[in-house]
Amino acid sequence: MNQNRMPLVEAITQYQKRNPIRYHVPGHKGRGEGLLASLYPFDLTEVPGLDDLHHPEEAIREAQQLAAEAFGAEETFFLIGGSTVGNLAMLLAACHPGDEVLVQRNAHKSVMNGLILAQAKPIYLQPEVDPITGLPVTVSLQELKIQLQKHPEAKAVFLTNPNYYGMGMNLRPYAELCEEYGIPLLVDEAHGAHLGLIQGLPGSAMQAGASAAVQSTHKMLPSLTMSSMLHVKGPRLNRERLRKALTMVQSSSPSYPLMASLDHARHYVLHVGQQELRQSLRLSAQLKDGLAHMAFSWLEVVEGKEHYDYLDPLKVTLRTHSHELHGFALREWLEQQGVFPELADEHHVLLTLSPKTTDDELKRTLSIINQLERTQLAGSNQAVHYRPLSSPLILSPYEVFQRASSSVPLQAAVGEISAEMITPYPPGIPLVAPGERLELEMLEYIQELQRMGCRFHGVEDTTLKTLKIIKNDED
């Protein structure tokens, strides 16, 4: 295929060249004032020559085929609803109501929502916890083996890889294991759109043999926010159901700038992006060197000690375990200096580089960090030793969504069914999932984690004075 072309970008340019009088939507007719003034001319709709995302036959079809070739897929779908819709569609395609599916417990909330819409019954796979950082990483192969043996009827395996911090596993043995059971390996690869594109980067899910992988192209490559790709390979995931599901959850008025930015990003990574990706690896190494000179530490792979196969070099995680510095305080200080990290937790500040990160930015960053008087930024830094507890799943996420809930004091929740996800940070692994029974031991552990300084996500009342439980039918 001719990877020098950008079929969709070209089609939009062609339409513009005709200087059309527009009696079609959108209402701005290609003109507008303010912030987005220069964008309006390219914000088009399904006029002749611009194809149709939901029935692609021309430019969009070609652009998707070029993307499939570039990213090693049999078929690629452009997503204009973010990786969210990719996760929803994979689950809707793989599961019929009541089907069991093996799902990494700390999956993105869109995966939980996909379980609701598909009415699937999750069998949660407990992720490993990296003992050095306390961060959750991918499920071990051993855990997957055990759960597949226990649940031979499961219709799919759903993993998240790499994690937010760039820790990942080589998925090849996982894909082979799924193939033994004849079920698809579905991967939320939101953080890995750049994987496998040049030497020096870890491989991608497609390269490892996954059946389907969703990549947030916008996260690590230069496409627009909310534009993602769903790559598919092999016969394990029903393509007809997948197409139907994508049509269900994606807009019937898809954004052309978002789609064009995917076409552009694919072209980019095969051309100028190759060089810029290599430069980003050099910049990442320089950043770490500079930090080392300032006696800063960052996350690195220590042979034989880690629970993951690779660390994405474009994710640089500053560690603040020196008891001088609090992750949140460091982030705030950096932001005051004009350096905006991706995220912070108690112990870490994550800097996400991309092929678009520049040499100049890197130098400015190092010179800013060099000014840091660390003692000004004290904060609590008690390590939390998280231990997973398990509660029985009484209702599926779908059943929880359909049932009424009420808030009760934490003490009164013993024996009740949780209507919410209770996720302590760190490490960000749900302790209680919706539909699980709140047993006394679990509630005591929640209070213990709270005393140790954990924050809780996913809950309506973040103080945890009250919890949301499923109302009894008699109430």
Q: Roughly what angle, to the nearest 10 degrees, separates helices 256-270 and 7-17?
A: 130
225/472 with CB nearer a copy of itself: 225
Instruction: Report if residue 361 touches a copy of itself, rule: CB under 8 A.
Output: yes
Distance CA 203, CA 205 (A): 7
Do residues 397 and 122 lie in contact, with contact meaning Cβ atoms separated by under 8 Å? Answer: yes
At 129, list the tokens.
């916890």
Q: Who's near 47: CB < 8 A, 6+ residues apart?
A: 15, 20, 24
Q: Specify the pairing of strand 348-352 against strand 228-232.
A: unpaired
Sign of CA dihedral 294, 299, 305, 311: negative
Q: HEC states along 162-184?
A: CCCCCEECCCHHHHHHHHHHCCC
313 with 284: CB under 8 angstroms?
Answer: yes
Q: By CB under 8 A, is residue 256 in contact with a copy of itself?
A: yes
Please say which residue, 35 or 295, places its beta carbon nearer to a copy of itself: 35
Residue labelled with tokens 């909330």:
109
CB 279, min distance to a copy of itself, A = 13
Q: Could you tell me which stretch among 57-65, 142-150, 357-365, 448-456 binds a copy of itself (CB under 8 A)? A: 357-365
For residue 401, which amino acid is it?
A: F
- Which one of 5, 108, 278, 321 is in contact with a copy of itself (CB under 8 A)? 108
Size of the site for a copy of itself (CB under 8 A): 97
Among the listed residues 222, 234, 379, 388, the single contact to a copy of itself using CB under 8 A:
222
Stretch that binds a copy of itself, among 6-14, 129-137, 195-203, 204-212 (CB under 8 A): 6-14
Cβ proximity to a copy of itself: between 214 and 442 the closer is 214
Site membership for a copy of itself, residue 20 (CB under 8 A): yes
Distance of alpha carbon 218 from alpha carbon 192, whole angstroms: 10
Q: Which is nearer to a copy of itself, 162 or 257 (CB)?
A: 257
47 belongs to the binding site for a copy of itself (CB under 8 A): yes
Given 4, 19, 199, 371, the residue binding a copy of itself (CB under 8 A): 19
Distance, CA of 147 to CA of 156 (rounded, Å): 12
Report the relative pairing of strands 100-104 and 121-125 from DSSP bridges: parallel
Q: Which of 7, 11, 12, 212 binds a copy of itself (CB under 8 A)?
A: 12
Min dist CB 382 to a copy of itself, Å, is 25
Q: Are 70 and 229 in contact (CB under 8 A)?
A: no
Asked if 107 interacts with a copy of itself (CB under 8 A), we say no
Q: Which residues, numbered 224-253, are part of the site for a copy of itself (CB under 8 A)? A: 224-226, 244, 247-253
Q: For residue 209, what is the enclosing H or E element?
A: none
**Of 410-469, which residues contact a copy of itself (CB under 8 A)?**
none
Q: Does 25 bind a copy of itself (CB under 8 A)?
A: yes
Q: Which stretch binds a copy of itself (CB under 8 A): 61-69, 360-368, 420-428, 445-453?
A: 360-368
Q: Which is nearer to a copy of itself, 178 or 422 (CB)?
A: 422
Per-residue binder mask for a copy of itself (CB under 8 A), 319-338, x = binder: ----------------x--x
**Amino acid in the structure at residue 434:** P
Amino acid at 425: Y
| Contacts to a copy of itself from residues 158-217, by CB under 8 A | 193-194, 216-217
